């Protein structure tokens, strides 16, 4: 819970991808918290106790907020 940062709560939650020959029925879903972090929930089960790879998609790129950062940069 509360992993990552910078996700926009108004966007669609990012996709969770699980890979590995032994992933079985293991699946993951994510939800975006109001503070921009993620909760990832797992369902199902792998076929054994060996490692699987879990990745979460990046959020949508956005324009940064550049107000109040000062001036005179070259």
CA separation for the pair 46, 58 (Å, rounded)? 25
pLDDT digits (tens, 9 = 90+) for 49-73: 999 999 999 877 777 777 777 777 7
pLDDT digits (tens, 9 = 90+) for 16-48: 999 999 999 999 999 999 999 999 999 999 999
In a domain, 4, yes or no: yes
CA separation for the pair 7, 24 (Å, rounded)? 29
In a domain, 24, yes or no: yes
The pair of three-digit structure tokens given for residue 62, joined into one six-digit string: 């956005």
- The answer to whether 16 and 56 are in contact (CB under 8 A) is yes
Domain count, the chain: 1
Whole-number pLDDT of residue 74: 65
Instruction: Render the burial of 14-26: b for 16+ CB within 10 Å, e for the rest.
Output: bebebeeeebeeb
Structural domain span for residue 13: 1-46
Whole-number pLDDT of residue 5: 87
User: Which pTM does this prediction carry?
Assistant: 0.75
């Amino acid at each position: 819970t509360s992993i990552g940062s910078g996700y926009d709560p108004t966007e669609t939650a990012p996709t969770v991808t699980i890979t590995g020959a032994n992933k079985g029925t293991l699946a993951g879903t994510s939800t975006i918290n109001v503070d921009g972090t993620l909760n990832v929930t797992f369902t199902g089960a792998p076929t054994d106790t060996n490692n699987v790879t879990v990745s979460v998609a990046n959020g949508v790129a956005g324009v940064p907020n550049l107000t109040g950062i000062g001036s005179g940069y070259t």
